[in-house]
Amino acid sequence: MLKYLPLVFLCAACASEAENPDEAGPSQTPSYATQKSAPSPDYRALLDEPARSAGGWQVREASVPAPPDAKAIGETWIDRLEAREALLGYGLAGKGPDGPVNLIDTGLTEAEFTRWTAENGWQVPDHIRWSFVPEMNLPRVSEAAKAAIRVWPASTSRTGAQHEALFDGRVEMRDGCFFVGESGKPVDRLAWFHAEIGLDVDGEGFLILRNRVSGQTLARIGEDMNWGGPATAQIDPAAKRALLDACGPGEIYVAGSPEASERFLMQYPHLREDQVPPAAPSPQQ
DSSP code per residue over 230-282:
S------HHHHHHHHHHH-SS-EEEEES-EEHHHHHHH-GGG-TTPPPPPPPP
The residues, any chain, with a CB within 8 Å of residue 282's CB and separated by 6 or more, are: none
162 and 256 belong to one structural domain: yes
Contact between 193 and 154 (Cβ < 8 Å): yes
201 and 156 belong to one structural domain: yes
Please report the pLDDT score of residue 1 as a whole number.
43
Picking from 114, 132, 150, the residue at the C-terminal end of a domain is 132
252 and 177 belong to one structural domain: yes
18 and 88 belong to one structural domain: no
Q: Which of 41-55, 214-228, 232-246 has the highest mean pLDDT?
A: 214-228
Picking from 132, 149, 178, the residue at the C-terminal end of a domain is 132
48 and 173 belong to one structural domain: yes
Please report the pLDDT score of residue 6 as a whole number.
34
Contact between 240 and 249 (Cβ < 8 Å): no
Please report the pLDDT score of residue 55 as a whole number.
65
Picking from 113, 132, 151, the residue at the C-terminal end of a domain is 132
Q: Residue 1 domain-assigned?
A: no
Domain count, the chain: 2
pLDDT at 3 exceeding the cut of 90: no
80 and 206 belong to one structural domain: no
Q: Quick one: which of 114, 81, 99, 111 has its CA closest to 234? A: 81
Q: Which pLDDT band holds residue 27 (cuts at 50, 70, 90)?
A: very low
112 and 45 belong to one structural domain: no
142 and 217 belong to one structural domain: yes
The residues, any chain, with a CB within 8 Å of residue 50's CB and separated by 6 or more, are: none
Structural domain boundaries, residue 114: 58-132
Q: Residue 143 domain-assigned?
A: yes
Q: Residue 97 domain-assigned?
A: yes
The string of pLDDT tens digits covering residues 83-127 is: 999 999 999 998 888 899 999 999 999 999 999 999 999 999 999
pLDDT at 23 exceeding the cut of 70: no
Q: Residue 92 domain-assigned?
A: yes
Average pLDDT over residues 51-72: 90
Average pLDDT over residues 214-221: 96
Average pLDDT over residues 145-161: 93
Percent of the chain beyond pLDDT 70?
85
In this structure, how many other beta carbons lie within 10 angstroms of the beta carbon of residue 73? 18
Q: Residue 238 domain-assigned?
A: yes
Q: Residue 276 domain-assigned?
A: no
234 and 249 belong to one structural domain: yes
Please report the pLDDT score of residue 280 as a whole number.
61
116 and 220 belong to one structural domain: no
37 and 167 belong to one structural domain: yes
Please report the pLDDT score of residue 283 as a whole number.
61
196 and 256 belong to one structural domain: yes
pLDDT at 284 exceeding the cut of 60: no
Q: Residue 26 domain-assigned?
A: yes
Q: Which pLDDT band holds residue 281 (cuts at 50, 70, 90)?
A: low
Q: Residue 281 domain-assigned?
A: no
